[in-house]
Structure 1
Protein backbone atom coordinates (compact mmCIF):
# COMPACT_ATOMS: atom_id res chain seq x y z
CA UNK A 1 0.00 0.00 0.00
CA UNK A 2 1.44 3.37 -1.03
CA UNK A 3 -0.01 6.47 0.55
CA UNK A 4 -0.82 9.64 -1.31
CA UNK A 5 0.57 11.47 1.70
CA UNK A 6 4.12 10.14 1.34
CA UNK A 7 6.76 12.70 0.40
CA UNK A 8 5.48 15.81 2.18
CA UNK A 9 5.72 17.21 5.69
CA UNK A 10 3.03 18.80 7.87
CA UNK A 11 -0.05 17.54 9.68
CA UNK A 12 -2.35 14.85 8.30
CA UNK A 13 -5.62 13.57 9.77
CA UNK A 14 -7.74 10.65 8.65
CA UNK A 15 -9.82 7.79 10.04
CA UNK A 16 -8.32 4.31 10.38
CA UNK A 17 -9.72 2.25 7.47
CA UNK A 18 -11.42 -1.10 8.09
CA UNK A 19 -8.50 -2.98 6.57
CA UNK A 20 -6.15 -1.81 9.33
CA UNK A 21 -8.44 -2.67 12.25
CA UNK A 22 -6.41 -4.33 15.04
CA UNK A 23 -3.03 -3.38 13.59
CA UNK A 24 -0.20 -1.98 15.74
CA UNK A 25 -0.06 1.81 15.70
CA UNK A 26 3.45 2.01 14.24
CA UNK A 27 2.52 -0.46 11.52
CA UNK A 28 -0.68 1.44 10.71
CA UNK A 29 1.20 4.74 10.47
CA UNK A 30 3.77 3.05 8.22
CA UNK A 31 1.10 1.71 5.89
CA UNK A 32 -1.03 4.84 5.76
CA UNK A 33 1.73 7.37 5.26
CA UNK A 34 4.27 5.43 3.21
CA UNK A 35 6.94 5.43 5.94
CA UNK A 36 9.36 2.69 6.93
CA UNK A 37 8.50 0.86 10.16
CA UNK A 38 11.54 2.44 11.81
CA UNK A 39 10.49 5.97 10.80
CA UNK A 40 6.89 5.32 11.86
CA UNK A 41 7.98 4.00 15.27
CA UNK A 42 10.21 7.04 15.83
CA UNK A 43 7.31 9.33 14.93
CA UNK A 44 5.01 7.58 17.43
CA UNK A 45 7.72 7.68 20.14
CA UNK A 46 8.06 11.43 19.59
CA UNK A 47 4.34 11.94 20.25
CA UNK A 48 3.66 12.95 16.65
CA UNK A 49 0.92 10.36 16.08
CA UNK A 50 -2.31 10.81 18.05
CA UNK A 51 -5.21 8.36 18.21
CA UNK A 52 -8.47 10.21 18.89
CA UNK A 53 -6.36 13.07 20.24
CA UNK A 54 -4.32 10.91 22.64
CA UNK A 55 -0.71 9.75 22.41
CA UNK A 56 -0.38 5.97 22.39
CA UNK A 57 2.58 3.52 22.38
CA UNK A 58 3.72 1.74 19.24
CA UNK A 59 2.09 -1.47 20.45
CA UNK A 60 -1.36 0.11 20.68
CA UNK A 61 -3.88 -1.71 18.46
CA UNK A 62 -5.84 0.77 16.38
CA UNK A 63 -9.56 0.39 15.73
CA UNK A 64 -11.35 1.05 12.47
CA UNK A 65 -12.89 4.52 12.53
CA UNK A 66 -10.50 5.91 15.13
CA UNK A 67 -9.07 9.27 14.12
CA UNK A 68 -5.35 9.45 13.42
CA UNK A 69 -3.56 12.80 13.60
CA UNK A 70 0.04 12.59 12.39
CA UNK A 71 2.67 15.29 12.10
CA UNK A 72 5.00 14.24 9.30
CA UNK A 73 8.58 15.52 9.17
CA UNK A 74 9.58 17.80 6.33
CA UNK A 75 10.99 15.80 3.42
CA UNK A 76 14.79 15.75 3.35
CA UNK A 77 16.55 17.82 0.75
CA UNK A 78 17.41 15.75 -2.32
CA UNK A 79 20.95 14.40 -2.20
CA UNK A 80 23.49 16.16 -4.37
CA UNK A 81 26.68 15.05 -6.06
CA UNK A 82 29.77 16.34 -4.26
CA UNK A 83 33.05 15.91 -6.18
CA UNK A 84 35.30 13.93 -3.87
CA UNK A 85 38.46 12.00 -4.63
CA UNK A 86 38.16 8.37 -3.52
CA UNK A 87 41.41 6.56 -2.66
CA UNK A 88 41.49 3.12 -4.22
CA UNK A 89 38.89 3.80 -6.91
CA UNK A 90 40.53 2.94 -10.22
CA UNK A 91 39.32 3.78 -13.73
CA UNK A 92 39.74 0.61 -15.81
CA UNK A 93 38.54 2.09 -19.08
CA UNK A 94 37.04 5.35 -20.35
CA UNK A 95 35.94 6.83 -23.67
CA UNK A 96 33.33 9.40 -24.74
CA UNK A 97 30.44 7.04 -23.93
CA UNK A 98 31.33 4.96 -20.88
CA UNK A 99 33.65 4.86 -17.90
CA UNK A 100 34.38 1.55 -16.17
CA UNK A 101 35.66 1.63 -12.59
CA UNK A 102 37.02 -0.81 -10.06
CA UNK A 103 35.02 0.17 -6.96
CA UNK A 104 36.63 -0.23 -3.53
CA UNK A 105 34.75 -1.17 -0.37
CA UNK A 106 32.92 1.58 1.51
CA UNK A 107 31.86 3.49 -1.59
CA UNK A 108 28.23 3.90 -2.71
CA UNK A 109 27.28 4.04 -6.38
CA UNK A 110 25.58 7.44 -6.00
CA UNK A 111 24.35 9.83 -3.28
CA UNK A 112 21.23 8.79 -1.37
CA UNK A 113 19.35 9.94 1.75
CA UNK A 114 21.26 9.04 4.88
CA UNK A 115 24.53 8.25 3.09
CA UNK A 116 27.36 10.69 3.86
CA UNK A 117 30.30 8.66 2.57
CA UNK A 118 32.07 8.67 -0.80
CA UNK A 119 30.33 7.77 -4.06
CA UNK A 120 31.40 6.58 -7.49
CA UNK A 121 29.63 9.53 -9.13
CA UNK A 122 31.37 11.99 -6.80
CA UNK A 123 34.74 10.36 -7.47
CA UNK A 124 34.27 10.57 -11.25
CA UNK A 125 33.26 14.23 -10.97
CA UNK A 126 36.42 14.92 -8.95
CA UNK A 127 38.67 13.55 -11.69
CA UNK A 128 36.86 15.37 -14.47
CA UNK A 129 34.60 12.78 -16.10
CA UNK A 130 31.44 14.26 -17.59
CA UNK A 131 28.54 11.93 -16.86
CA UNK A 132 25.24 11.49 -18.71
CA UNK A 133 22.54 13.87 -17.48
CA UNK A 134 19.82 11.21 -17.77
CA UNK A 135 18.30 9.84 -14.59
CA UNK A 136 17.62 11.54 -11.26
CA UNK A 137 20.12 14.31 -10.49
CA UNK A 138 21.97 12.36 -7.79
CA UNK A 139 22.37 9.20 -9.90
CA UNK A 140 22.88 10.54 -13.40
CA UNK A 141 24.65 8.05 -15.61
CA UNK A 142 24.16 5.14 -13.19
CA UNK A 143 22.82 2.08 -15.03
CA UNK A 144 23.52 -0.50 -12.29
CA UNK A 145 24.79 -0.47 -8.72
CA UNK A 146 27.02 -2.35 -6.32
CA UNK A 147 26.40 -2.44 -2.57
CA UNK A 148 28.60 -0.21 -0.42
CA UNK A 149 30.25 -3.35 0.96
CA UNK A 150 30.73 -5.04 -2.43
CA UNK A 151 33.82 -4.34 -4.50
CA UNK A 152 34.54 -4.74 -8.19
CA UNK A 153 33.77 -3.67 -11.72
CA UNK A 154 31.02 -1.16 -12.49
CA UNK A 155 30.12 0.82 -15.63
CA UNK A 156 28.72 4.38 -15.73
CA UNK A 157 27.28 6.06 -18.84
CA UNK A 158 28.91 9.29 -20.03
CA UNK A 159 26.74 10.00 -23.09
CA UNK A 160 22.96 10.04 -23.43
CA UNK A 161 23.18 7.36 -26.13
CA UNK A 162 25.17 5.12 -23.80
CA UNK A 163 22.75 5.66 -20.92
CA UNK A 164 19.74 4.65 -23.00
CA UNK A 165 21.48 1.64 -24.55
CA UNK A 166 22.93 0.35 -21.28
CA UNK A 167 19.71 0.81 -19.32
CA UNK A 168 17.96 -1.27 -21.98
CA UNK A 169 20.73 -3.89 -21.96
CA UNK A 170 20.52 -4.33 -18.18
CA UNK A 171 16.72 -4.41 -18.27
CA UNK A 172 16.61 -7.12 -20.94
CA UNK A 173 19.52 -9.09 -19.44
CA UNK A 174 21.87 -8.54 -22.36
CA UNK A 175 24.73 -7.89 -19.92
CA UNK A 176 26.78 -10.68 -18.38
CA UNK A 177 27.53 -10.02 -14.72
CA UNK A 178 29.84 -12.45 -12.94
CA UNK A 179 30.66 -12.28 -9.26
CA UNK A 180 32.94 -14.33 -7.06
CA UNK A 181 31.74 -15.10 -3.55
CA UNK A 182 33.02 -17.13 -0.63
CA UNK A 183 30.06 -18.79 1.07
CA UNK A 184 29.98 -20.80 4.26
CA UNK A 185 30.01 -24.59 3.98
CA UNK A 186 29.75 -26.69 0.82
CA UNK A 187 26.96 -26.31 -1.70
CA UNK A 188 24.96 -29.35 -2.77
CA UNK A 189 24.86 -29.59 -5.72
CA UNK A 190 28.22 -27.97 -6.45
CA UNK A 191 26.72 -26.27 -9.51
CA UNK A 192 23.15 -25.08 -9.75
CA UNK A 193 20.53 -22.36 -10.10
CA UNK A 194 18.66 -20.54 -7.37
CA UNK A 195 15.25 -19.38 -8.59
CA UNK A 196 13.46 -17.63 -5.71
CA UNK A 197 11.55 -14.32 -5.66
CA UNK A 198 12.99 -11.43 -3.65
CA UNK A 199 11.38 -8.38 -2.07
CA UNK A 200 11.85 -6.21 1.00
CA UNK A 201 12.08 -8.11 4.27
CA UNK A 202 8.64 -8.08 5.94
CA UNK A 203 9.95 -6.96 9.35
CA UNK A 204 13.54 -5.69 8.98
CA UNK A 205 14.27 -2.35 7.29
CA UNK A 206 17.25 -2.30 4.92
CA UNK A 207 17.12 -6.06 4.46
CA UNK A 208 15.68 -8.14 1.66
CA UNK A 209 14.32 -11.67 1.67
CA UNK A 210 12.90 -14.50 -0.40
CA UNK A 211 9.16 -13.89 -0.15
CA UNK A 212 6.11 -15.20 -1.95
CA UNK A 213 5.03 -12.67 -4.54
CA UNK A 214 8.45 -11.03 -4.72
CA UNK A 215 10.20 -10.07 -7.93
CA UNK A 216 11.55 -12.99 -10.00
CA UNK A 217 15.22 -13.52 -9.10
CA UNK A 218 17.58 -16.05 -10.69
CA UNK A 219 21.16 -16.80 -9.65
CA UNK A 220 23.44 -19.37 -11.33
CA UNK A 221 26.49 -20.62 -9.43
CA UNK A 222 29.45 -22.96 -9.89
CA UNK A 223 31.83 -24.03 -7.12
CA UNK A 224 35.43 -23.12 -8.01
CA UNK A 225 37.25 -24.23 -4.86
CA UNK A 226 36.25 -25.89 -1.59
CA UNK A 227 37.86 -25.25 1.80
CA UNK A 228 37.12 -27.00 5.12
CA UNK A 229 34.73 -24.27 6.24
CA UNK A 230 33.70 -22.50 3.04
CA UNK A 231 33.55 -22.51 -0.77
CA UNK A 232 34.65 -20.07 -3.46
CA UNK A 233 31.88 -19.83 -6.07
CA UNK A 234 31.50 -18.19 -9.45
CA UNK A 235 28.10 -16.51 -9.67
CA UNK A 236 26.25 -15.36 -12.78
CA UNK A 237 23.23 -13.16 -12.26
CA UNK A 238 20.30 -13.52 -14.62
CA UNK A 239 18.41 -10.80 -12.73
CA UNK A 240 19.76 -7.92 -10.66
CA UNK A 241 17.75 -7.51 -7.46
CA UNK A 242 19.06 -5.61 -4.46
CA UNK A 243 21.23 -7.93 -2.30
CA UNK A 244 20.31 -10.83 -4.63
CA UNK A 245 23.44 -12.95 -4.13
CA UNK A 246 23.54 -12.33 -0.40
CA UNK A 247 19.84 -13.19 0.05
CA UNK A 248 19.88 -16.28 -2.17
CA UNK A 249 22.88 -17.92 -0.52
CA UNK A 250 21.65 -17.00 2.95
CA UNK A 251 18.34 -18.68 2.12
CA UNK A 252 20.28 -21.85 1.28
CA UNK A 253 21.97 -21.56 4.71
CA UNK A 254 25.27 -20.78 2.99
CA UNK A 255 25.60 -17.02 3.60
CA UNK A 256 28.52 -15.08 2.20
CA UNK A 257 31.40 -15.25 4.66
CA UNK A 258 31.56 -12.02 6.65
CA UNK A 259 27.96 -11.06 5.88
CA UNK A 260 26.63 -10.66 9.43
CA UNK A 261 23.48 -8.96 8.13
CA UNK A 262 22.42 -12.19 6.47
CA UNK A 263 23.50 -14.73 9.05
CA UNK A 264 27.24 -15.29 8.59
CA UNK A 265 29.18 -16.88 11.45
CA UNK A 266 30.88 -14.02 13.36
CA UNK A 267 33.62 -16.36 14.63
CA UNK A 268 34.64 -17.33 11.10
CA UNK A 269 34.40 -13.70 9.98
CA UNK A 270 36.77 -12.68 12.77
CA UNK A 271 39.23 -15.47 11.93
CA UNK A 272 39.32 -14.27 8.32
CA UNK A 273 39.61 -10.63 9.50
CA UNK A 274 36.58 -9.64 7.45
CA UNK A 275 34.22 -6.82 8.38
CA UNK A 276 32.08 -7.13 5.24
CA UNK A 277 30.75 -9.81 2.93
CA UNK A 278 33.22 -11.76 0.76
CA UNK A 279 31.59 -10.73 -2.50
CA UNK A 280 33.31 -9.23 -5.52
CA UNK A 281 32.00 -8.09 -8.92
CA UNK A 282 34.61 -10.01 -10.89
CA UNK A 283 33.60 -9.52 -14.53
CA UNK A 284 31.27 -7.41 -16.66
CA UNK A 285 30.70 -7.82 -20.40
CA UNK A 286 28.26 -6.10 -22.76
CA UNK A 287 27.95 -4.65 -26.25
CA UNK A 288 29.57 -1.23 -26.45
CA UNK A 289 26.70 1.27 -26.89
CA UNK A 290 28.34 3.01 -29.85
CA UNK A 291 30.38 0.38 -31.69
CA UNK A 292 28.20 -2.65 -30.96
CA UNK A 293 31.31 -4.71 -30.25
CA UNK A 294 31.48 -6.86 -27.12
CA UNK A 295 33.66 -5.43 -24.36
CA UNK A 296 34.73 -7.30 -21.25
CA UNK A 297 36.25 -6.00 -18.03
CA UNK A 298 37.74 -7.95 -15.12
CA UNK A 299 38.59 -6.83 -11.59
CA UNK A 300 41.19 -8.47 -9.34
CA UNK A 301 40.37 -9.31 -5.73
CA UNK A 302 41.10 -6.47 -3.29
CA UNK A 303 43.57 -7.02 -0.47
CA UNK A 304 41.06 -7.93 2.27
CA UNK A 305 39.37 -10.63 0.18
CA UNK A 306 42.71 -12.00 -1.05
CA UNK A 307 43.94 -12.19 2.54
CA UNK A 308 40.81 -14.10 3.63
CA UNK A 309 41.38 -16.62 0.82
CA UNK A 310 44.97 -17.18 1.95
CA UNK A 311 43.79 -17.88 5.49
CA UNK A 312 41.19 -20.35 4.22
CA UNK A 313 43.81 -22.15 2.13
CA UNK A 314 46.37 -22.43 4.95
Structure 2
Protein backbone atom coordinates (compact mmCIF):
# COMPACT_ATOMS: atom_id res chain seq x y z
CA UNK A 1 0.00 0.00 0.00
CA UNK A 2 1.38 3.41 -0.96
CA UNK A 3 1.58 6.44 1.33
CA UNK A 4 0.83 9.99 0.21
CA UNK A 5 2.00 13.29 1.66
CA UNK A 6 0.86 16.80 0.75
CA UNK A 7 3.01 19.69 1.96
CA UNK A 8 2.79 23.45 1.56
CA UNK A 9 6.13 25.23 1.70
CA UNK A 10 6.11 27.88 4.41
CA UNK A 11 9.06 29.92 3.20
CA UNK A 12 11.64 30.05 0.43
CA UNK A 13 14.28 27.47 1.12
CA UNK A 14 16.90 25.17 -0.27
CA UNK A 15 16.83 22.14 -2.51
CA UNK A 16 13.73 20.01 -2.84
CA UNK A 17 15.43 16.86 -1.53
CA UNK A 18 16.68 18.65 1.60
CA UNK A 19 13.28 20.21 2.24
CA UNK A 20 11.58 16.82 2.02
CA UNK A 21 14.23 15.16 4.20
CA UNK A 22 13.57 17.75 6.89
CA UNK A 23 9.79 17.37 6.63
CA UNK A 24 9.56 13.59 6.20
CA UNK A 25 11.90 12.11 8.79
CA UNK A 26 11.02 8.51 7.87
CA UNK A 27 12.54 8.89 4.39
CA UNK A 28 16.27 8.96 3.69
CA UNK A 29 17.81 11.41 1.21
CA UNK A 30 18.61 8.54 -1.15
CA UNK A 31 15.00 7.28 -1.00
CA UNK A 32 13.70 10.80 -1.67
CA UNK A 33 16.01 11.06 -4.68
CA UNK A 34 14.63 7.78 -6.02
CA UNK A 35 11.06 9.05 -5.64
CA UNK A 36 11.82 12.34 -7.38
CA UNK A 37 13.53 10.57 -10.26
CA UNK A 38 10.61 8.16 -10.55
CA UNK A 39 8.19 11.07 -10.90
CA UNK A 40 6.49 10.37 -7.57
CA UNK A 41 7.16 13.92 -6.30
CA UNK A 42 5.08 16.69 -7.84
CA UNK A 43 5.63 20.39 -7.20
CA UNK A 44 2.55 22.43 -8.10
CA UNK A 45 1.31 19.45 -10.08
CA UNK A 46 4.49 18.99 -12.14
CA UNK A 47 7.47 16.65 -11.93
CA UNK A 48 10.57 18.30 -10.57
CA UNK A 49 14.27 17.75 -9.90
CA UNK A 50 16.03 17.21 -6.58
CA UNK A 51 17.94 20.45 -7.16
CA UNK A 52 14.77 22.56 -7.47
CA UNK A 53 14.76 25.41 -4.92
CA UNK A 54 11.46 25.35 -3.07
CA UNK A 55 9.52 28.61 -2.78
CA UNK A 56 6.95 29.83 -0.32
CA UNK A 57 3.49 28.57 -1.29
CA UNK A 58 4.71 25.61 -3.36
CA UNK A 59 2.41 22.60 -3.07
CA UNK A 60 4.49 19.40 -2.88
CA UNK A 61 2.83 16.00 -3.25
CA UNK A 62 4.80 12.84 -2.52
CA UNK A 63 3.66 9.30 -3.28
CA UNK A 64 5.70 6.60 -1.58
CA UNK A 65 5.24 3.22 -3.19
CA UNK A 66 6.16 0.15 -1.13
CA UNK A 67 9.63 -1.22 -1.76
CA UNK A 68 10.04 -4.63 -3.30
CA UNK A 69 10.57 -7.08 -0.44
CA UNK A 70 14.14 -8.19 0.10
CA UNK A 71 14.81 -11.85 -0.59
CA UNK A 72 16.23 -13.16 2.66
CA UNK A 73 18.15 -16.41 2.40
CA UNK A 74 19.36 -18.76 5.08
CA UNK A 75 23.14 -18.73 5.58
CA UNK A 76 25.28 -21.16 7.53
CA UNK A 77 26.79 -18.61 9.92
CA UNK A 78 27.75 -19.73 13.45
CA UNK A 79 25.50 -18.39 16.21
CA UNK A 80 26.13 -18.03 19.95
CA UNK A 81 22.76 -19.22 21.28
CA UNK A 82 22.51 -18.42 24.99
CA UNK A 83 18.98 -19.79 25.46
CA UNK A 84 16.19 -21.30 23.35
CA UNK A 85 12.73 -22.72 24.00
CA UNK A 86 9.52 -23.10 21.98
CA UNK A 87 8.89 -19.34 21.97
CA UNK A 88 12.15 -17.43 22.11
CA UNK A 89 15.82 -17.48 21.25
CA UNK A 90 18.37 -15.38 23.12
CA UNK A 91 21.45 -14.84 21.00
CA UNK A 92 24.78 -13.16 21.75
CA UNK A 93 25.42 -11.06 18.64
CA UNK A 94 29.08 -10.48 17.79
CA UNK A 95 30.45 -7.03 17.11
CA UNK A 96 30.44 -6.30 13.37
CA UNK A 97 27.26 -8.22 12.50
CA UNK A 98 24.17 -6.39 11.20
CA UNK A 99 20.90 -7.59 12.73
CA UNK A 100 18.75 -7.79 9.58
CA UNK A 101 19.09 -7.17 5.83
CA UNK A 102 18.79 -3.58 4.64
CA UNK A 103 20.17 -1.37 1.89
CA UNK A 104 23.93 -1.89 1.83
CA UNK A 105 23.68 -5.08 3.91
CA UNK A 106 21.62 -7.58 1.90
CA UNK A 107 23.12 -10.68 3.51
CA UNK A 108 25.51 -12.10 6.18
CA UNK A 109 23.20 -10.72 8.88
CA UNK A 110 21.89 -12.20 12.10
CA UNK A 111 18.56 -12.92 10.37
CA UNK A 112 20.31 -14.90 7.64
CA UNK A 113 22.00 -16.97 10.33
CA UNK A 114 18.75 -17.46 12.28
CA UNK A 115 16.94 -18.71 9.18
CA UNK A 116 19.57 -21.43 8.80
CA UNK A 117 19.28 -22.31 12.49
CA UNK A 118 15.47 -22.68 12.55
CA UNK A 119 12.37 -22.39 10.37
CA UNK A 120 10.39 -21.24 13.41
CA UNK A 121 10.64 -17.44 13.38
CA UNK A 122 7.75 -15.03 13.85
CA UNK A 123 6.74 -13.33 10.61
CA UNK A 124 7.42 -9.61 10.33
CA UNK A 125 5.29 -7.07 8.43
CA UNK A 126 8.25 -6.08 6.24
CA UNK A 127 9.32 -9.66 5.57
CA UNK A 128 13.05 -9.00 5.95
CA UNK A 129 13.33 -9.23 9.75
CA UNK A 130 11.52 -12.37 10.90
CA UNK A 131 11.75 -12.89 14.64
CA UNK A 132 13.35 -9.53 15.35
CA UNK A 133 11.59 -7.44 18.01
CA UNK A 134 14.48 -5.11 18.92
CA UNK A 135 17.91 -4.32 17.48
CA UNK A 136 21.41 -3.34 18.46
CA UNK A 137 23.84 -1.56 16.17
CA UNK A 138 26.26 -3.39 13.90
CA UNK A 139 29.31 -2.59 16.06
CA UNK A 140 27.50 -3.15 19.36
CA UNK A 141 27.84 -6.66 20.74
CA UNK A 142 25.59 -8.59 23.07
CA UNK A 143 22.17 -10.03 23.79
CA UNK A 144 19.04 -9.96 21.66
CA UNK A 145 15.72 -11.73 22.17
CA UNK A 146 14.15 -13.30 19.09
CA UNK A 147 10.49 -14.36 18.72
CA UNK A 148 9.76 -17.78 17.23
CA UNK A 149 6.00 -17.30 16.77
CA UNK A 150 3.32 -14.60 16.61
CA UNK A 151 2.29 -15.02 20.26
CA UNK A 152 5.88 -14.57 21.41
CA UNK A 153 6.36 -11.51 19.18
CA UNK A 154 3.24 -9.86 20.62
CA UNK A 155 4.33 -10.59 24.20
CA UNK A 156 7.89 -9.34 23.76
CA UNK A 157 6.78 -6.20 21.93
CA UNK A 158 4.28 -5.42 24.69
CA UNK A 159 7.02 -5.83 27.29
CA UNK A 160 9.24 -3.43 25.36
CA UNK A 161 6.40 -0.90 25.11
CA UNK A 162 5.60 -1.26 28.83
CA UNK A 163 9.32 -0.95 29.72
CA UNK A 164 9.00 -4.07 31.86
CA UNK A 165 11.98 -5.92 30.42
CA UNK A 166 15.60 -5.39 31.45
CA UNK A 167 18.35 -4.19 29.10
CA UNK A 168 21.70 -3.33 30.65
CA UNK A 169 24.78 -2.30 28.70
CA UNK A 170 28.47 -1.84 29.44
CA UNK A 171 30.22 1.08 27.78
CA UNK A 172 33.60 2.78 27.81
CA UNK A 173 33.13 6.52 27.47
CA UNK A 174 35.37 9.57 27.25
CA UNK A 175 35.94 11.66 30.36
CA UNK A 176 35.37 11.26 34.08
CA UNK A 177 32.29 11.86 36.23
CA UNK A 178 31.76 13.80 39.44
CA UNK A 179 28.57 11.82 40.15
CA UNK A 180 28.24 8.07 40.73
CA UNK A 181 25.03 7.71 38.71
CA UNK A 182 22.57 9.72 36.67
CA UNK A 183 19.69 9.76 34.21
CA UNK A 184 19.53 11.32 30.76
CA UNK A 185 15.95 12.21 29.82
CA UNK A 186 16.13 13.89 26.43
CA UNK A 187 14.07 13.31 23.24
CA UNK A 188 15.82 11.77 20.23
CA UNK A 189 15.10 12.28 16.54
CA UNK A 190 16.86 12.57 13.20
CA UNK A 191 19.67 15.14 13.19
CA UNK A 192 18.40 17.96 10.92
CA UNK A 193 21.98 18.79 9.91
CA UNK A 194 23.14 15.22 9.19
CA UNK A 195 20.66 12.56 8.10
CA UNK A 196 23.06 9.76 9.05
CA UNK A 197 22.94 10.76 12.69
CA UNK A 198 20.36 10.89 15.43
CA UNK A 199 20.38 13.76 17.91
CA UNK A 200 18.64 15.25 20.92
CA UNK A 201 15.96 17.39 19.27
CA UNK A 202 12.97 19.25 20.65
CA UNK A 203 10.37 17.35 18.61
CA UNK A 204 12.04 13.94 19.00
CA UNK A 205 10.64 10.81 20.65
CA UNK A 206 10.91 10.37 24.41
CA UNK A 207 14.19 8.69 25.40
CA UNK A 208 15.46 7.83 28.89
CA UNK A 209 18.83 6.29 29.78
CA UNK A 210 19.99 5.54 33.33
CA UNK A 211 23.74 5.18 33.94
CA UNK A 212 26.02 4.12 36.77
CA UNK A 213 29.77 4.77 36.91
CA UNK A 214 31.66 1.52 37.58
CA UNK A 215 35.32 2.55 37.22
CA UNK A 216 37.27 5.65 36.18
CA UNK A 217 40.60 5.90 34.40
CA UNK A 218 42.62 8.84 33.05
CA UNK A 219 40.43 10.25 30.30
CA UNK A 220 37.91 7.39 30.26
CA UNK A 221 35.24 5.72 32.37
CA UNK A 222 33.53 2.34 32.42
CA UNK A 223 29.79 2.73 32.90
CA UNK A 224 26.67 0.61 33.05
CA UNK A 225 23.61 1.88 31.18
CA UNK A 226 20.02 0.73 31.55
CA UNK A 227 17.53 1.56 28.83
CA UNK A 228 14.05 2.70 29.71
CA UNK A 229 13.25 3.33 26.04
CA UNK A 230 14.85 1.96 22.89
CA UNK A 231 15.52 4.71 20.37
CA UNK A 232 18.01 4.35 17.52
CA UNK A 233 21.58 4.97 18.81
CA UNK A 234 20.07 5.97 22.18
CA UNK A 235 23.05 5.35 24.48
CA UNK A 236 25.49 6.73 21.91
CA UNK A 237 23.46 9.93 21.45
CA UNK A 238 22.67 10.47 25.13
CA UNK A 239 26.22 10.00 26.34
CA UNK A 240 27.58 12.34 23.65
CA UNK A 241 24.87 14.84 24.64
CA UNK A 242 26.13 15.00 28.24
CA UNK A 243 29.76 15.30 27.13
CA UNK A 244 30.81 11.64 27.49
CA UNK A 245 30.76 10.12 23.97
CA UNK A 246 31.49 6.41 23.65
CA UNK A 247 35.09 5.46 22.99
CA UNK A 248 35.55 4.31 19.40
CA UNK A 249 32.23 5.74 18.21
CA UNK A 250 32.73 6.80 14.56
CA UNK A 251 29.52 8.87 14.43
CA UNK A 252 29.31 10.66 17.77
CA UNK A 253 32.80 10.46 19.28
CA UNK A 254 36.11 12.24 18.78
CA UNK A 255 38.74 10.96 16.37
CA UNK A 256 41.34 10.62 19.09
CA UNK A 257 40.03 7.59 20.93
CA UNK A 258 40.73 3.99 21.90
CA UNK A 259 41.71 1.60 19.09
CA UNK A 260 39.04 -0.96 18.29
CA UNK A 261 36.32 -1.92 15.82
CA UNK A 262 33.71 0.73 16.52
CA UNK A 263 32.05 1.91 19.72
CA UNK A 264 32.84 0.10 22.97
CA UNK A 265 29.24 -0.81 23.79
CA UNK A 266 28.03 -4.24 24.89
CA UNK A 267 24.48 -5.43 25.65
CA UNK A 268 25.46 -7.44 28.71
CA UNK A 269 22.20 -8.30 30.48
CA UNK A 270 18.74 -9.06 29.10
CA UNK A 271 15.67 -9.95 31.15
CA UNK A 272 12.04 -10.57 30.15
CA UNK A 273 8.96 -12.67 30.91
CA UNK A 274 8.71 -15.97 29.04
CA UNK A 275 5.73 -15.39 26.66
CA UNK A 276 3.86 -18.62 27.53
CA UNK A 277 4.64 -19.21 31.20
CA UNK A 278 5.25 -15.68 32.49
CA UNK A 279 8.47 -16.89 34.14
CA UNK A 280 11.15 -14.22 34.49
CA UNK A 281 14.20 -15.08 32.40
CA UNK A 282 17.48 -13.18 32.76
CA UNK A 283 20.80 -13.69 30.99
CA UNK A 284 24.22 -12.04 31.07
CA UNK A 285 27.26 -12.44 28.81
CA UNK A 286 30.76 -11.05 29.02
CA UNK A 287 31.88 -8.44 26.46
CA UNK A 288 34.11 -9.47 23.56
CA UNK A 289 37.84 -9.98 24.06
CA UNK A 290 38.87 -6.58 22.70
CA UNK A 291 36.52 -4.88 25.20
CA UNK A 292 37.88 -6.90 28.14
CA UNK A 293 41.51 -6.36 27.11
CA UNK A 294 40.95 -2.62 26.72
CA UNK A 295 39.44 -2.42 30.22
CA UNK A 296 42.43 -4.31 31.65
CA UNK A 297 44.84 -1.91 29.94
CA UNK A 298 42.94 1.08 31.31
CA UNK A 299 42.94 -0.43 34.80
CA UNK A 300 46.72 -0.26 34.83
CA UNK A 301 46.30 3.53 34.90
CA UNK A 302 43.16 3.53 37.05
CA UNK A 303 42.13 6.67 38.85
CA UNK A 304 42.27 5.82 42.57
Match of 2:254 in 1: 265
SS for the counterpart of 1:26 is helix
**CA deviation vs aligned residue, 1:259-286 (integer Å, no higher than 9, x gap):** 0200x232323xxx21300000000011
Q: Once the 2 structures are TM-superposed, how far is the Cα of residue 51 of structure 1 from its aligned partner?
A: 8.1
In 2, the alpha carbon distance for the partners of 1:220 and 1:167 equals: 21
SS for the counterpart of 1:164 is helix
Match of 2:204 in 1: 214
Match of 1:313 in 2: 299
Match of 1:284 in 2: 270
Identify unmatched segments of 5+ residues in structure 1: 6-13
**CA deviation vs aligned residue, 1:176-233 (integer Å, no higher than 9, x gap):** 1100011101123221111111111112123110011211111111011111121110
Match of 1:77 in 2: 68
Within the candidate set 161, 173, 176, 2:166 is matched to 176
Q: How does 1:2-17 map to 2 (within 5 A)?
A: 4=4, 17=8
Count of residues in Structure 1 that have an aligned counterpart in Structure 2 = 297
CA RMSD of aligned residues (A): 3.2
Match of 2:118 in 1: 128
CA contact (8 A) 2:180 2:212 kept: yes
Q: Once the 2 structures are TM-superposed, how far is the Cα of residue 36 of structure 1 from its aligned partner?
A: 2.7
Q: Once the 2 structures are TM-superposed, how far is the Cα of residue 299 of structure 1 from its aligned partner?
A: 1.3
Match of 1:230 in 2: 220
1:159 and 2:145 correspond: no
**CA deviation vs aligned residue, 1:231-276 (integer Å, no higher than 9, x gap):** 11011111111110000000011101000200x232323xxx2130
Q: 1:54 to 1:191 in 2, by over 3 A?
A: closer
CA contact (8 A) 1:79 1:113 kept: no
CA contact (8 A) 1:78 1:113 kept: no
Which stretch of the first structure deviates more once superposed, 135-144 or 296-305?
A: 135-144
Identify unmatched segments of 5+ residues in structure 2: none
In 2, the alpha carbon distance for the partners of 1:188 and 1:37 equals: 41
Q: Once the 2 structures are TM-superposed, how far is the Cα of residue 80 of structure 1 from its aligned partner?
A: 2.9
